[in-house]
Structure 1
Amino acid sequence: MVVIVGGGASGTLTAVHVLRAFRHGAPRLVMIDKDGRHGLGQAYSTGDSRHLLNACTARMSALADEPEHLLDWVRARGLDAADTDYLPRRLYGEYLRSVLAEARASRPGSRVEEVTGAVVSLTTGERPVVRLADGRAFPADAVVLATGNRPPAAWPHLRAGDRYVPDAWAPGALDGRGDGSPVLVVGTGLTMVDLAVTLTGAHPGTVVHAVSRHGLLPARHRCPQPPPRSIPLPEGPLTLAVLMRTVRAAIRANGGEWHAIIDGLRPHVPSLWERLPEGDRRRFLTLASRYWEIHRHRIPPETAARVDALRDSGRLRVLRGEPVSATDLGDGVLVGLDTPEGPRELRVGHVVNGTGPARDLAADPFLHTLFLSGAARPDSLGLGLDATAEGALLDAAGRPHERVFTLGPPLRGLRYETTAIPEIRDQAAALAERLTRVDGLARIPDLLS
C-alpha cells in the first residue's frame, strides 16, 4: 500500500503516475487530505471562475508524454479553447480529478481510497505507519509527503478577532467578507490578486488595500507569448553575481524583452540553484527573490486588465509598508502601518493574510513531530524538507529513507523552482518509477491475490 499525505495537485499527480507506472497491477493507494479537497487542494478548490491558471493550457497537461491532453479534455467537454488560453482554476481541478479517474479505470482492480483527516504522526522503520488525529492508522509499504504549500505565516501584530483571516484559502475563510467594508490584504502577490478580484466582485463598494514591503505586483504574461529563449550559462563554479550579470546581459541582447529569457531560464533553475554556494542562496532569498517571483510567476492578460481597472477606479490601493499593530474596534479594525513615509493608520472592515507560505516549518504540528522524532530534518535554508535528488526523505542524521518520499513545494530549498505543474508532474512520474522498486510494491501480483 502507498499512502499519499496530501490530496492536492502533488498528491493527485503522484497517484496518477503510480497507477501508470505499475503496468501489471497497481498497489492500493490511500490519499489523505485534511480538508477533503481530494484532487483540488488549495489551488484548485476555488469557486470563483475569475481565478485563472497562471500558465496557458499548452503547459498544463498532467501527462508529459501527452502535451495536448488537457486541451483535448477541455474540447471534449464542448468548450472552445486554444492552447494559448488561461483556464479557470476550478476547471483545472475537475481535470485533475478526471485524469485520476481515467488512470484508475485503466488499472482494473486498483483501489484508490480518499481519506479526510489530519495527519499527526509518521512512524518510520521497517514499515512506516501514518496516524491521523482521530486515531486511524495506515501501515504502508511507502509514504509520499505531497503536502503542497504551507499556510501563510502568522503575523504577530494582527489579532483582530473574527475580522482577521489568517489563511485566505482555508475552507469558508472569505464567507461574509464581501460586505462592502474596506479590506486590508497583507501581501501583494498572486494571492492578493485573486482576493482583490473576489472581494471587489462580491460587493460594488468594496475597496481593497494591499500592503507589502516592496509594494510589487506580479507582472503580466505577454499575449502571444514569445517562445522561451535559451541563454549561454556559465560553467564551473557559480556565484549569484555572475548569474545575475549573465541574465541581465541576455535581456539586453534580446532588446530588453525579458519574458522569453525568464522562461528559457526556468528549466535550468534547479541545477543553477544547486551550484550556488549556500551563502549566495541566502542572499538571493533576501535581496532578489521577490523580483524573480513577480517576473517568473506572471498573471494572465485578462487578470492583469482586471487589476488595472481596479487600480484606476481606486478600488485597489497598493501600499509599501508593514503592519505593526491591529486594534479590534468591534465594527472594524484599526491597523497601524510602518511605511517609507512614516507611521500610518488605516481603518478597515477586515484584514486578510495573503502572504506566501510560512517558512517556520516547526510551526506545523506534523512536521514538528517529524523533526522531534528524528524522522526528518529541514533543508539547510529552512524552506522545506531535506531529501535526496529522487525525493527520498533524509532523517536527522542525513540517512535516506527507503520508503518515505516527498515532492513539490517541500523540495523548494533543494530545487527552488518546484511549485508549478510541469515540475511536479515530472517529479511525480520519476517518483512513481522509483516506487516500483520498493520492496513489497515490486510484487504487486502477490499483493493483489
Structure 2
Amino acid sequence: MSRLRIAIIGGGVSGTALAVHLLLRGAQTPDVTLIERGRRIGPGLAYGGSDQAHLLNVRANNLSISDHKPDDFSRWLSKRKGGDQSKTFAPRALYGRYVAEALQRAEGAHWFRRPLKRVRGDAVALRREGEGVEITLASGKTIPADKAVLALGNPAAIVPEPISSVEVIDAWDAAAIARVPSNSDVLLVGTGLTMVDVVLSLSKRPRSGTIYALSHRGLTPHAHADIPPAVQGTLAQSAPLSAALSELRNVARGVHERGEPWQHVVDGLRKATPTLWRGLTSEQQLRFLRHARSYWDIHRHRAAPEAAARIADLRKTGKLRILRGEVVSAGAAGRYIQIVHRQRGSMVRHRFDVANVINCTGASQNLARSRDPLVMQLLSDGLVRAHATGLGLDVNDDGGVLDARGAADTRLFALGPITQGAFWESTAVPEIRARAAALAAIL
C-alpha cells in the first residue's frame, strides 16, 4: 500500500513544527514534502535574522517545537549556554537554529528510510487533481500530493498610504537598517514588538539623532513580569463582549491590588482564547478588532524584560519619542523626508524632518491586499475564502480550509498566522506547536 503524501507549503516555524510532529509518528509517518522559498528551512522570517539584540518574547521553557518534549528548547539552550536557561528570553536567531536542528533530529530518527523531502521553491498555484492536489512552483515544476497544508507564515507588511510616496525601509531589511545614519532623526511607523526590535538595532551605536515611533494610539508593549504563582484569568463567554472585557479588567485589577502581577491573568486565559474567540459573532470580532485590539496586543504580546528596560531608558533620555496620531503627508525635502504629523485628538499639525522612514506595522493578514501568487490563485479559483474579519483564511475547527461556498475540502488545511481570523491565538509558538500536533494526528 502506498504511503500518504503530504505537502507542506512554507518551511518556517509553522511548517517545520508540523513536519516534526509528522516525523514523530513512527510507522505511521507519511511521505512529507516541505516547500520553502527562502534559503533556510526552520527559522522563517521571524527567527531568521542575526541580530543578537532581538529577543524572544516567550520564556525558553515554553518554546519547544514538539508537544512530546515540552522542555526540549530549554534543555537545548542550557547545553549551549550553561546553567538553567528555562526562564530566559533567548535571542531570536538562536531559536531559529534550534528549530532547524529539531527538524534534523526528527528526520534522523528514520534511519531505515527518508520520509522527508526538502524542496526549495516558490509555490505559485495549487489545484485539485483527482483525489489529491497538484502544486506548481515558479520554476514550472509540479508536486503531486494527497493532502496539502498552507503554512505560509507572516506575509510582508503593507506600507501605509500616507508614507507610500517616499522610500520606506522594511523592518526586516537588516542591511538597510544598519545603513541608517546615527546622527540623523528617523521615523518608525508602528509601536509594537517590531518597533522594539528595530529600536534595539538602531540604538546599538551611540545616537545623536532622535528615533520617532508613531501609531494611532501610541501604545507600546508591556514587559513580562517575574515568574509568580500562576493566576487563572476568567472571561464569561456568555456575557456581551464589552461586559466580558470589563470582567477581565476587574480580575486583573484585583490581582494587581493584592501585589501580584496582572500579566498572569492574561496568560491564564491563553488556552481558552481560541474557544472564546470562535464563540463571538463576526460582528463582535470586528468590534474587538476596531476598539480593543491594540490594547489587547500590548498586554498579551509583551516584550522581554531586558528589551522593555532598554526601551524605557531610551524614552527617558529622549532618544526615543513615541507619537500618537497619524502621518498626514510625507515628501522629499532635499536630503531628508518631511513628515507632517497630526496628534491624536487634535487638528494641529507638526512638521519634522527625518533621514529615513521604517515600516514597523507588522505582518498583514489582509488577503484582499495580498500579492502572493498562490493566495491570489486560490482566492480566484474559489478554493479558499478570506475570514469574515479579513484576517487570513476561513477554516473549520480542525484547520480544514473552507472554500468560497463554505465547504471544507479534506485535501487542504492551514496552520499558523494565516489562521488568525479563525483562532485569534495562532501566531505564537506555543499555539502553533499545539495545533501542529493536533493537525498531524488528523492528517
Report if the CA contact (8 A) 1:9-1:41 is conserved. Answer: yes
Picking from 162, 187, 190, the partner of 1:157 is 162
Report if the CA contact (8 A) 1:19-1:103 is conserved. Answer: yes
Picking from 291, 296, 302, the partner of 2:300 is 296
Residue 411 of structure 1: how far off its partner (Å): 1.3
In 1, the alpha carbon distance for the partners of 2:90 and 2:203 equals: 21
Residue 75 of structure 1 aligns to a residue whose secondary structure is: helix
Residue 219 of structure 1: how far off its partner (Å): 0.2
In 1, the alpha carbon distance for the partners of 2:47 and 2:208 equals: 27
Instruction: Find the counterpart in structure 1 of residue 127 from structure 2.
Output: 123
Instruction: Find the counterpart in structure 2 of residue 93 from structure 1.
Output: 96
In 1, the alpha carbon distance for the partners of 2:407 and 2:173 equals: 35
Q: Deviations for 1:91-149, whole angstroms, at most 9, x for unmatched residues?
A: 11111011101100112212433333322211124221111222222111221111112
Instruction: Find the counterpart in structure 1 of residue 350 from structure 2.
Output: 344
In 2, the alpha carbon distance for the partners of 1:29 and 1:179 equals: 47
Instruction: Find the counterpart in structure 1 of residue 148 from structure 2.
Output: 143
In 1, the alpha carbon distance for the partners of 2:263 and 2:147 equals: 40
1:402 aligns with 2:410: yes
Residue 24 of structure 1 aligns to a residue whose secondary structure is: helix
Instruction: Find the counterpart in structure 2 of residue 234 from structure 1.
Output: 236
Gaps of 5+ in 2: none
Counterpart amino acid of residue 234 in structure 1: A
Instruction: Find the counterpart in structure 2 of residue 356 from structure 1.
Output: 362
Normalising by structure 1, report the TM-score.
0.91
Report if the CA contact (8 A) 1:178-1:202 is conserved. Answer: no
In angstroms, what is the RMSD of aligned CA positions?
1.9
Which stretch has the larger CA shift, 327-336 or 424-433? 327-336
Instruction: Find the counterpart in structure 1 of residue 247 from structure 2.
Output: 246
1:43 aligns with 2:51: no
Which stretch has the larger CA shift, 368-377 or 131-140? 131-140
Report if the CA contact (8 A) 2:6-2:148 is conserved. Answer: yes
The within-5 A match list for 1:58-207 is 58-108=61-111, 109-125=113-129, 126-159=131-164, 161=166, 163-165=167-169, 167-170=170-173, 172-178=175-181, 180-202=183-205, 204-207=207-210
1:368 aligns with 2:376: yes
In 2, the alpha carbon distance for the partners of 1:376 and 1:75 equals: 43
In 2, the alpha carbon distance for the partners of 1:282 and 1:124 equals: 33
Counterpart amino acid of residue 50 in structure 2: G
Q: Percent identity?
A: 37
In 2, the alpha carbon distance for the partners of 1:212 and 1:52 equals: 22
* Residues 203 and 110 of structure 1: CA distance in aligned 2, closer, same or farther (over 3 Å): farther
* Residues 278 and 48 of structure 1: CA distance in aligned 2, closer, same or farther (over 3 Å): same
Counterpart amino acid of residue 157 in structure 1: P
Instruction: Find the counterpart in structure 1 of residue 13 from structure 2.
Output: 9
Counterpart amino acid of residue 103 in structure 1: A
Gaps of 5+ in 1: 436-449
In 1, the alpha carbon distance for the partners of 2:205 and 2:378 equals: 41
Instruction: Find the counterpart in structure 2 of residue 323 from structure 1.
Output: 327
Instruction: Find the counterpart in structure 2 of residue 446 from structure 1.
Output: none
Residue 367 of structure 1 aligns to a residue whose secondary structure is: helix
In 2, the alpha carbon distance for the partners of 1:233 and 1:185 equals: 35
The within-5 A match list for 1:20-39 is 20-21=24-25, 23-24=26-27, 26-39=29-42
Counterpart amino acid of residue 248 in structure 2: V
Residue 350 of structure 1: how far off its partner (Å): 0.8
In 1, the alpha carbon distance for the partners of 2:378 and 2:391 equals: 15
Report if the CA contact (8 A) 1:25-1:107 is conserved. Answer: no
